[in-house]
């Protein structure tokens, strides 16, 4: 709830601003709804807000301050929707009825015209369309848009990945021969529960996040430019929406709408009972529906009552209240997805909503959790978005609970970092996305041009599922890599120049020393240090693959637990390692100098202080350690009596003091460089 409506009705001091804010909020919600995006408000919140705006305009707001917003009377609530194909006759809205009295008044209007029957139909919650057939072939599909003109989505609907039950490309007459009719049919494009579950599973398997509800899934799939998953939808028509119903060729588009009833218009109690009966079975209904449409059954009565500029006078819509349940949140479960983004799920005491028992709800991201102040122990109101997806509507908290704090690191000590709206794992063992970002980083494979955004795209497009896939990418594939949408709705791609840069970076990464390739595998409990120790100890991938758990125990710093984990990790990566070898990635330690002549052989070396302004300036700490090991030494982080040499740059502190105390040889970075012949 926005809170605006309560301040409005209470005559809050900043009334005008609240009113303006309320209108802006409602317009934003309407714009989201009519363009098929996620609305910031639930239907119930939107309706409450509109009621508050309406009463404020009637009682509180001076006439001069009333905004011409079109929320109540314009088609599509005044939202300007993309579209340039005019409709031959407008695609209208329906007048809303809210109370039993409203319904009785409507029925009285029908009865006054002599109507005896009223149709009680499900109000289907999808995307209103107009489909044009010529000579029995589907030639054009247009969205409702603003009611006067819509968007041509023929290509989107007829492409190979999309199947729409009930909207055939060619129609047959009732005798089973091809139809040659010209006609237009209007109806609702939507997803049945089965359509939605299948489509969402396909979409998730393709690496994209699932849709929140069937309505978003329908709008999203029908309008998106590229689809890399199969979509199933349905098209359902109403009773009067075929332009030439007399044409017997016009097959069976006009199939009875399931769930509909015909009721005596003179018996309001029977009509209300029919509405209630459908409400009780609504959750199990095959299509998403948010209410009921009441219509005069007789064509002559419809003609007599006529049609206004926005809606027909012979039909009204009634919306059901969203069903909710009350429960207590017991846990917030954190999981890592394929790109490394964390997902959060509220687990609550099982509660029955709309005829099914629910106990979990996705919480999307941490800002949603903070905004709603969802805590472990919160009393929560839950509902099913689009009648299917459980969501937390609101919570109340008491002093026995405290705000939920997102975790800052995982069990292995890898920090979670914020990327846009999401918290992301940096643990390469957790997900392909985290692995690729880690492998590309400066201290590992140092791949120029492979940032977070590209790593995500590679994973989402299914191009990279493991480390070796990186070395199979080619410039042509990468040039077309989609990186998101442009401001005009097109697709932004990586492009030739960046693709070539990335291919070059990957090619260069093949020649990184073995220790870095080992580190890039992202095996648990191996970081840069153990990458170096494993490379130095075994000398080649072949030897590492052949190493037993006991062999691993011989590596410096490897105890029983680490030996188990590394052994399992190496064996799990056997295929990847073998592919890397086959792809020509460094698989042996390259020693630059004559073996035996290694200057640092047998020495334990510690580096401290800054190397700025010295010959070793360009070396990071990890590169410095690599340098020591390449020359036969052992890099260490702390000074002890076993230390052989301390390299102390400017600003060296306690390590220098300790080395001096212990009488350990100490040299400057430049002296060290000289000793190594650099
Ligand atoms: S009859 C005036 N019957 O709701 C045109 N429409 O809010 C009414 N809708 O544009 C057509 N279920 O897209 C009709 N059983 C039903 C309906 C229905 C959903 C849609 C239709 C219309 C919109 C109005």
Count CB atoms within 10 A of the CB of residue 405: 10
DSSP characters for 430-487? T-HHHHHHHHHSTTTT--TT--HHHHHHHHHTTS-SSHHHHTT--HHHHHT-EEEE-T
Average pLDDT of the segment spanning 361-388: 88
Rounded Cα–Cα distance for residues 302 and 391 (Å)? 40
595-675: which CATH architecture?
A: 3-Layer(aba) Sandwich (3.40)
Q: What are the φ and ψ backbone dihedral angles of 416, each rounded to 5 degrees?
A: -90, 135
Specify the higher pLDDT residue, 666 or 3.
Answer: 666
Q: How confident is the model at residue 13 (pLDDT cuts 50, 70, 90)?
A: very low
State pLDDT tens for residues 559-574: 999 999 999 999 999 9
Average pLDDT of the segment spanning 529-533: 92
Provide the pLDDT for residue 568.
94
Q: How confident is the model at residue 101 (pLDDT cuts 50, 70, 90)?
A: very high
Cα of 23 from ligand 1 centre, angstroms: 25
> For the domain bounded by 86-319, which CATH number is listed?
3.30.470.30
Provide the pLDDT for residue 669.
94
Q: How confident is the model at residue 535 (pLDDT cuts 50, 70, 90)?
A: very high
User: Of the ranges 168-182, 260-274, 327-341, 412-426, which one carries the lowest mean pLDDT score?
Assistant: 168-182
Which residue stretches of 113-213 are H helix? 154-158, 193-205
State pLDDT tens for residues 282-338: 878 889 888 999 999 998 999 999 998 889 999 999 988 777 889 999 999 998 887
Judge whether residue 254 has pLDDT over 60.
no
User: Of the ranges 205-214, 350-359, 409-418, 632-641, which one carries the lowest mean pLDDT score?
Assistant: 205-214
Q: Does ligand 1 come within 6 angstroms of the Cβ of 124?
A: yes
Tell me what the pLDDT averaged over the chain comes to: 87
Provide the pLDDT for residue 464.
94
Cα of 189 from ligand 1 centre, angstroms: 11
Nearest of 322, 374, 386 to residue 347 by alpha carbon: 374
Cα of 133 from ligand 1 centre, angstroms: 21
Domain 324-396, CATH homologous superfamily name and number: Nucleic acid-binding proteins (2.40.50.140)
Among this protein's residues, is 319 annotated catalytic? no
Question: 236-267 as b/e, with b when 16 or more CB fall inside 10 Å?
Answer: bbbbbbbbeeeeebbbebbeebebbbebebee
Burial class (CB in 10 A: 0-12, 13-18, 19+), 638: exposed
Judge whether residue 118 has pLDDT over 90.
yes
User: Is 507:516 a contact under the CB 8 Å cutoff?
Assistant: no
Using CA positions, which residue lies closest to atom 21 of ligand 1?
128
Average pLDDT of the segment spanning 367-371: 90
Cα of 278 from ligand 1 centre, angstroms: 17
Judge whether residue 459 has pLDDT over 60.
yes
Pocket test for ligand 1, best of 123, 236, 314, 316 (most atoms within 8 A of CB): 123
State pLDDT tens for residues 237-252: 876 555 555 555 555 5
428-509: which CATH architecture?
A: Orthogonal Bundle (1.10)
Cα of 237 from ligand 1 centre, angstroms: 9
Judge whether residue 466 has pLDDT over 50.
yes
Provide the pLDDT for residue 497.
94
Hey, where are the domains in the chain? 4-65, 86-319, 324-396, 428-509, 514-582, 595-675
Provide the pLDDT for residue 592.
57
Cα of 315 from ligand 1 centre, angstroms: 9
Judge whether residue 116 has pLDDT over 90.
yes
Which atom of ligand 1 lies at the shortest distance from residue 307's CA? 2
Q: Does ligand 1 come within 6 angstroms of the Cβ of 294?
A: no
User: Is 377:471 a contact under the CB 8 Å cutoff?
Assistant: no
Rounded Cα–Cα distance for residues 461 and 454 (Å)? 10
In the sheet with 261-264, reading across from the earlier edge strand, the strands are 95-97, 315-319, 289-296, 117-124, 261-264
Specify the higher pLDDT residue, 215 or 408.
Answer: 408
Average pLDDT of the segment spanning 516-524: 94
Counting residues of the chain whose pLDDT is more than 70, the rounded percentage is 91
Counting residues of the chain whose pLDDT is more than 90, the rounded percentage is 50
DSSP classification of residue 520 = H
- Give, to the nearest 10 degrees, the angle between helix 560-572 and helix 574-582: 60
State pLDDT tens for residues 628-659: 988 888 888 889 999 999 999 999 889 999 99
Residue with tokens 């409602």: 26
| CATH C-level class of 514-582 | mainly alpha
Provide the pLDDT for residue 516.
95
**For residue 635, what are the CA distances in angstroms to 219, 241, 331, 626?**
59, 79, 44, 8
For 75, the 3-state DSSP assignment is helix
Q: Which of 96, 98, 123, 510 is catalytic?
A: 123
Equal CATH topology for 428-509 and 514-582: yes
Q: How confident is the model at residue 339 (pLDDT cuts 50, 70, 90)?
A: confident
DSSP classification of residue 309 = S
Specify the higher pLDDT residue, 218 or 364.
Answer: 218
Rounded Cα–Cα distance for residues 432 and 445 (Å)? 15
Judge whether residue 458 has pLDDT over 50.
yes
Q: Does ligand 1 come within 6 angstroms of the Cβ of 289?
A: no
Q: Does ligand 1 come within 6 angstroms of the Cβ of 75?
A: no
Judge whether residue 518 has pLDDT over 90.
yes
Provide the pLDDT for residue 430.
86
Q: Does ligand 1 come within 6 angstroms of the Cβ of 188?
A: yes
Which atom of ligand 1 lies at the shortest distance from residue 187's CA? 13
State pLDDT tens for residues 154-167: 999 999 999 999 89
Within 8 A by CB and 6+ apart from 623, the residues are none
Using CA positions, which residue lies closest to atom 1 of ligand 1?
238
Provide the pLDDT for residue 2.
45
Q: Does ligand 1 come within 6 angstroms of the Cβ of 128?
A: yes
Pocket test for ligand 1, best of 87, 93, 146, 238 (most atoms within 8 A of CB): 238
């Amino acid at each position: 709830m926005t809170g605006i409506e309560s301040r409005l009705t209470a005559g809050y001091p900043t009334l005008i601003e609240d009113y303006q804010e309320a209108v802006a909020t409602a317009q934003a919600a309407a714009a989201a709804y009519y363009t098929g995006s996620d609305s910031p408000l639930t239907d119930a919140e939107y309706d409450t807000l509109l009621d508050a705006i309406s009463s404020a305009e009637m009682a509180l707001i001076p006439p001069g301050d009333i905004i011409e917003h079109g929320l109540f009377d314009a088609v599509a609530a005044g939202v300007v929707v993309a579209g340039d194909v005019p409709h031959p006759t407008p695609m209208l809205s329906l007048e809303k009825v809210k109370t039993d009295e409203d319904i009785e008044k409507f029925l009285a209007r029908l009865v006054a015209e002599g109507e005896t029957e009223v149709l009680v139909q499900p109000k289907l919650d999808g995307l209103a369309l107009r489909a044009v057939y010529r000579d029995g072939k589907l030639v054009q599909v247009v969205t409702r848009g603003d009611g006067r003109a819509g968007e041509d989505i023929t290509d989107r609907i007829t492409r190979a990945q999309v199947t729409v039950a009930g909207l055939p490309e060619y129609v047959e007459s009732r005798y089973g021969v091809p139809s040659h009719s010209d006609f237009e049919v209007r109806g609702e494009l939507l997803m049945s529960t089965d359509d939605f579950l299948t489509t969402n599973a396909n979409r998730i398997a393709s690496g994209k996040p699932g849709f929140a509800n069937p309505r978003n899934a329908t709008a999203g799939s029908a309008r998106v430019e590229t689809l890399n998953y199969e979509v199933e939808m349905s098209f359902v028509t109403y009773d009067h929406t075929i332009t030439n119903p007399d044409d017997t060729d016009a097959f069976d588009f006009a199939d009875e709408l399931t769930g509909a009833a015909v009721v005596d218009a003179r018996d309001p109690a029977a009509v209300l009972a029919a509405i209630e009966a459908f409400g009780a079975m609504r959750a199990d209904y095959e299509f998403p529906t948010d209410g009921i449409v009441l219509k005069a059954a007789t064509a002559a009565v419809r003609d007599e009552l006529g049609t206004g500029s926005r809606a027909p006078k012979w039909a009204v819509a009634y919306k059901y209240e969203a069903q909710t349940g009350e429960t207590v949140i017991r846990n917030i479960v954190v999981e890592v997805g394929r790109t490394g983004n964390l997902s959060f799920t509220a687990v609550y005491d099982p509660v029955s909503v709309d005829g099914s028992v629910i106990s979990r709800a996705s919480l999307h991201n941490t800002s949603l959790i903070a905004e709603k102040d969802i805590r472990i122990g919160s009393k929560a109101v839950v509902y099913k978005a689009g009648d299917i997806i459980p969501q937390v509507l609101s919570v109340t908290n008491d002093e026995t609970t405290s705000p939920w704090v997102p975790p800052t690191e995982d069990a292995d000590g890898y920090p979670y970092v914020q990327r846009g709206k999401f918290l992301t794992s940096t643990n390469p063992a957790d997900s392909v996305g985290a692995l690729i970002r880690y492998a590309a980083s400066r201290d590992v494979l140092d791949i120029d041009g492979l940032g977070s955004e590209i790593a995500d795209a590679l994973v989402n497009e299914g191009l990279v599922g493991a480390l070796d896939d990186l070395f199979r990418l080619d410039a042509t594939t990468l040039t077309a890599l989609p990186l998101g949408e442009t401001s005009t709705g097109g697709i932004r791609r990586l492009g030739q120049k960046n693709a070539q840069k990335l291919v070059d970076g990957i090619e260069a990464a093949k020649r990184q020393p073995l220790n870095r390739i080992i580190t890039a595998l992202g095996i648990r409990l191996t970081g840069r240090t153990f990458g170096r120790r494993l490379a130095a100890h075994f000398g080649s991938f072949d030897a590492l693959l052949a190493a037993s758990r006991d062999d691993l125990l011989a590596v410096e710093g490897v105890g029983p637990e680490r030996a188990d984990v590394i052994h399992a990790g190496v064996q799990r990566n056997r295929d990847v390692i073998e592919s890397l070898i086959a792809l020509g990635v460094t698989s042996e330690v390259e020693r630059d100098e004559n073996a035996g002549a290694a200057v640092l052989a047998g020495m334990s070396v510690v580096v401290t202080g800054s190397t700025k302004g010295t010959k070793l300036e360009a070396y990071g700490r990890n590169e410095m350690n690599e340098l020591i090991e390449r020359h036969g030494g052992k890099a260490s982080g702390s000074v002890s009596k076993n230390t052989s040499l301390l390299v102390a740059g400017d600003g060296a502190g306690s390590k220098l003091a300790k080395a001096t105390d212990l009488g350990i040889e100490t040299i400057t970075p430049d002296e060290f460089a000289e000793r190594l012949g650099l």
